[in-house]
Structure 1
């Protein structure tokens, strides 16, 4: 889907795709999703980006944006928690993924929310919730722009920070893991691998750029 930032008249396109099961051990698992963003908006540090986020992080984002906007706008709803949500139910996962994408599409139409640092860190950095909060508050040795620019570069932070950055809250359903492993020991399981991939043909994007975002991340 293509969304336009009405305040600036620029293109901001976002996709939520490629759900994957992450396993720490036999009992602890969760699903995260790849967020692909293409834009020519000056609102964003990166014009093309990919990150992976899980449901609990979307919950944090909505709560944070609502608080930071001082209730001046009513944020769209996330797909609701389901006490019977199953990591093995492809339909439930597809419905949640579609709901998460719709949520982001609506968020990105608000000029007010586009000025929120937490939104940019969520969409274009690999920081966990606690680090996003600290960075947005100016309590880290790196800025928001630096966190975004260094997304994917393992040597950006210290080894201790790299470990801490993988720690996230466990407030999503069917999710009991406490940390994302720095290098997951259990092989990722792709769900709905035949799910249709969005065509990244906007803004004159080159074939190489389109392929880089349409392939599953490792």
Structure 2
């Protein structure tokens, strides 16, 4: 059977840190039958600066054995309200992911799996990969939902949510309590992968 890894970068959304600071994040959808992934479908949201971190981390981890593709360039005049600039960046991010997912060496990197299939921040990804958390890479991937973990307690609480290893996070039981860390602008009309 041929192994397939399909990835989409879509649904750009403006997220506000506060009145003066905002950024755009993008939904990354992954669907695969590849043996490299234990979770076959996932959805996460990432921003451009996290892609920059991922590229730097993958390049360092591959010890220059793989030349990674470039990300869309950082534009000092990038506007959150310019639909063409946002669309161009989104396409560039998708092309970047499509190209790196062709490399078996890159596919074996835990940072990539946590980036694509968990809601951990980059600092939490680094801590998890370094073994400085009480949860493993596999536990972080399997407990992912569409939210950010701001503390280890958040992740531990969500690890108690039972998920089938091949299920999408939307098929997991929701925790009884809602956390104020839920993503802003989460809409009920989000498409689900099948």
Q: TM-score range by the shorter chain?
A: 0.7 to 0.9
Is the 8 Å Cα contact of residues 45 and 146 (structure 2) preserved in structure 1?
no
Output one character per residue of 1:23-78: Cα deviation in whole Å (capped at 9) or x when no partner.
13221100000000000011012101000000000000000000000001110000
Q: 1:153 to 1:142 in 2, by over 3 A?
A: farther
Task: Check if 1:65 corresponds to 2:58.
Answer: yes
Task: Check if 1:76 corresponds to 2:103.
Answer: no
Task: Check if 1:110 corresponds to 2:103.
Answer: yes
Q: Structure 1 stretches (4+) deviating beyond 6 angstroms?
A: 153-156
**Where do 5+ consecutive residues of structure 2 fail to align?**
158-179
Is the 8 Å Cα contact of residues 22 and 189 (structure 1) preserved in structure 2?
no
TM-score, normalization: structure 2? 0.79
Output one character per residue of 1:60-97: Cα deviation in whole Å (capped at 9) or x when no partner.
00000000000011100000000000000000000000
Task: Check if 1:38 corresponds to 2:18.
Answer: no
Is the 8 Å Cα contact of residues 21 and 189 (structure 1) preserved in structure 2?
no
Output one character per residue of 1:105-124: Cα deviation in whole Å (capped at 9) or x when no partner.
00000001000000000000
Counterpart residue number, 1:182: 181
Q: CA RMSD in A?
A: 2.8
**Where do 5+ consecutive residues of structure 1 fail to align?**
1-7, 163-180, 198-210
Task: Check if 1:93 corresponds to 2:86.
Answer: yes
Counterpart residue number, 1:23: 16
Where 1:213 maps in the other structure, the secondary structure is: coil
Alignment partners' CA distance in 2, 1:119 and 1:56: 15
Is the 8 Å Cα contact of residues 43 and 146 (structure 2) preserved in structure 1?
no
Higher relative contact order (CA 8 A, sep 6+): 1
Count residues in correspondence: 169
Where 2:10 maps in the other structure, the secondary structure is: strand
Output one character per residue of 1:114-148: Cα deviation in whole Å (capped at 9) or x when no partner.
00000000000000011101111111100000000
Q: 1:213 offset after TM fit, Å?
A: 2.9
Task: Check if 1:120 corresponds to 2:113.
Answer: yes
